[in-house]
Amino acid sequence: MRVIVQRCSRAKVVIDSKVHGSIDKGLMLLVGFTEGDSEKEIEYMVDKIINLRIFDDSDGVMNLSLLDIGGSILSISQFTLYGDTSKGRRPSYIKALGGDEASKLYDLFNQKLKDKDMKVECGIFGADMKVDFVNDGPVTIMLERENDNEKR
């Protein structure tokens, strides 16, 4: 499982010319899954994301988490996080989890965030989305949790 975490001052996702989700201060997440990912990887990521200390405290030091600031999340499914460009010029997405399974994991990921009392806005899995956000800092962190299949 891979998640790109971007600290933002605002973010929105537009689908078919309509705003589908919008947040103010918080995190914009790009979320991708691979074969073998499960609830185990999701639980690890949820805990890591909500407790990641990447927001400034009163001294301007990144010492506060999303929980500390009461921020929100915009979660966007992103199979291209598993694009492999090691051969040729066209990325291969063979490592990206197939649609039905990935959709279920994406829904579970967002539900687990909500279960932690996070305000979560989402895109629509598989939709053509336009994402607009202001990266605050800029701060961008790549998180990855290998599942047991990837470790071999």
| DSSP per-residue codes, 78-122 | -GGGG-B-SSSSSPB-TTBPPHHHHHHHHHHHHHHHHHTT-EEEE
Q: 2-144 — its CATH code?
A: 3.50.80.10
Closest CA to 21 of 92, 124, 108: 124
Enter the pTM of the model.
0.94
CA angle 122, 56, 145 (to 5 degrees): 50
Going from N- to C-terminal start, the domains of the chain cover 2-144
Q: Render pLDDT for 78-96 as a digit per residue (tens, 0 to 9).
A: 999 999 999 999 999 999 9
Handedness of CA 68, 134, 143, 118 (dihedral sign): positive
Q: Render pLDDT for 35-64 as a digit per residue (tens, 0 to 9).
A: 999 999 999 999 999 999 999 999 999 999
For residue 149, what pLDDT is reported? 73
Of 63-67, 77-81, 129-133, 146-150, which gets the smallest average pLDDT?
Answer: 146-150
Within 8 A by CB and 6+ apart from 119, the residues are: 23, 26, 72, 73
Catalytic residues: 78-80
